[in-house]
Amino acid sequence: MTAQAHHAPAHHAHDGRFVVFAELRSLPSAHFEAAIRALGTTYRLTTTVWLLNGTTTVGAVRNMLVPHLGSRDVMFIVELGTGRSAWHNFGSDVDARIYTLVDLPKAHDAA
């Protein structure tokens, strides 16, 4: 199980616009949905994609939502405008592919 975030060194809360992809395979979605709504204004675009506008960082979004994911659930978050991203539970092979595809620095946060 892995969780990564890519963000600037400063971790100050700011107005952020995020796209959250979460494939919920393990647990009912009610707790996850309540948690994402608690982070700001949301719109559920599809069954697996939410738009979020809140005063937070991409890492904080990940950290607040991960406890509501099961062992088989995956999540990917991107902050619109900055390109900062965070993800959870894809595995090391996919982690490497994400870094290669989006050309992220190798240093990252793991949760």
**16-50 pLDDT, tens digit each:** 999 999 999 998 889 999 999 999 999 999 999 99
Which two tokens mark 90? 């894809």
**pLDDT beyond 50 at 109:** no
- Identify the pLDDT of residue 11: 46
Does pTM top 0.85 for this prediction?
A: no
Q: How far is CA 20 from CA 41, 45, 106, 107, in A?
A: 13, 10, 22, 22
Q: What is the Cβ-side half-sphere exposure of residue 87, based on CA atoms within 13 angstroms?
A: 18
